[in-house]
A and B are shown apart, each in its own frame.
Chain A
Amino acid sequence: MASPSENTQSGLMAKAVKEGIFAGAIAFGMFLLYVGIETYQDIDNRLVWRTRWGLLAIFVLVAAVGRFLTVGFIKPHIDRRKLAKAKSGVLEISEDKGFFHKHFLKIALIALLLYPIGSVMLFGPQGSLKYVDNFGIQILIYVMLAWGLNIVVGLAGLLDLGYVAFYAVGAYSYALLSANFGLSFWILLPLAGILAAMWGIILGFPVLRLRGDYLAIVTLAFGEIIRLVLINWTDVTQGTFGISGIAKASVFGIWSFDVGSPNYFPRAMGLATSSAWYKIFLFYVILALCLVTAYVTIRLRRMPIGRAWEALREDEIACRSLGINTVATKLTAFATGAMFGGFAGSFFATRQGFVSPESFVFLESAVILAIVVLGGMGSLTGIAIAAVVMVGGTELLREMEFLKLIFGPDFTPELYRMLLFGLAMIIVMLFKPRGFVGSREPTAFLRERKAVSGSFTKEGHG
């Protein structure tokens, strides 16, 4: 079988060129209409079109060159490295992880706690807003939502495409109850969670017998129903106008963040008047909520109900014959997941000060689900990484002013958000088909928790 190496080398190059041209042709076909031609309205409000051959050429070139490099250089390189590793007998997971690896969670937690302080020190209160609010809080909200959905999808294996409904229930619960009854955030937060959990059970009942694609479609419809109710029940929800002027969260009822209030928090602390302090406070609130979610998830996985969720994902029939009540198991999964969605929703409402049905469209469900899948269903760490990459990445796009120099002044990077989102997903799924952290952490051990040898727990691709 061994052929001369220069022979395979030239064969490889020929193949790389061929595949590169092929990829270019496909990209040309795909983007010809989307990118090559643009429609716009002229001064007389007529719809006319113009061509963008330059941009199209860039797309085609990127695809062709990318494919060429992948086939010709990157893939052989990776294969060679894998081969060398296999030859030297090093296991994929080595026993002695680096310091960073071992203490990753502690380091991450400390970094998160110091993050707002660091950004205030570096950029001043006003300058820190962007980092604390746009990046910090935004990402943490998605971490929390994805961790909540993870209970339903990642642990219990119930594909839920309408998760945003519970987010909406939480947000509107807070908005309406605080506006109509003047209740505080700290009372309404648990209440919003409970209300969302109730809706989780209400959704759970009719879909108990459904699985997989059927379940996905019904949950999708449920998400849309909630949104349409919010739009059309104008007496209560004010429809598409949304509800504004939602009360801010207080510091446990002791200090407030309303400038007019006598116990205005920054004044009490002797800080300059700035909206940044409120955002920093909110950052710690959502961080705490995330930690609660993680803690509860980790605890539940070691309790009968959590084990039952995971067993349900693996094999429902086996579960039943082992004496597991699958009805109760599914309902608790829906309810628990929904509850965290509700928490996140009421937090979202107090952070924005405004809610409208537009925040709860299907795309949100899809993004949250994508984060769960990318992270590796079930893995909290993986999901957090995925949230940072996906949400942080899209926020970063807004910052990329320099792209205008390349693509012209009309280029708005945010519009390519979804394109990049999809691209990132494809790339991750190609190289890590089980998500960032694809292996499941076992929860049962005999005697003390010993380090499980890596070669056994590493799963094959399936």
Chain B
Amino acid sequence: MILTYESVSQIKEKAARYPHRKSAVLPALTIACRQVGHLNNDLYREISEIINIPYIEVAEAATFYTLFPKKPVGKYYIMVCHNISCALVGADSMIKFLEEKLGIKKGETTKDGLFTLHSVECLASCATAPMLQINQDYYENLDSKKLSNLIDELKAKE
């Protein structure tokens, strides 16, 4: 088992609340992804056993939703919104700034496994653009100084 006792209980608790247990697929994927950082076939199998639905139904749903990475990502998963409101105030340049700062291209992970950089679609933070999400958290109204400090702080934590 990859899922911890705690994750399993959380999933079971969720599943029990829905009128139909299949509805627990998304919450289960969320819980699994929070624990592991990404999803894979082994996790789909474990989830299918916990909520008692066929494996394929879990895999089918999971592969539709882009929020869950399907392969390992860095300790800090950086998601930059590149949609129109953010792009009008420099989101694309912000991605270039990060590529230089981290020494990777969009879609890659730094060698030390710390950072993965991705662009994502609108995060509903359009009036505080440009912005990005790192793991669970939003960072809004960014400028180069703030962003540079943020990355340095994360590096310094290690």
Q: Do A and B come from one complex?
A: no
Binding site for A on B (CB under 8 A): none
Binding site for B on A (CB under 8 A): none
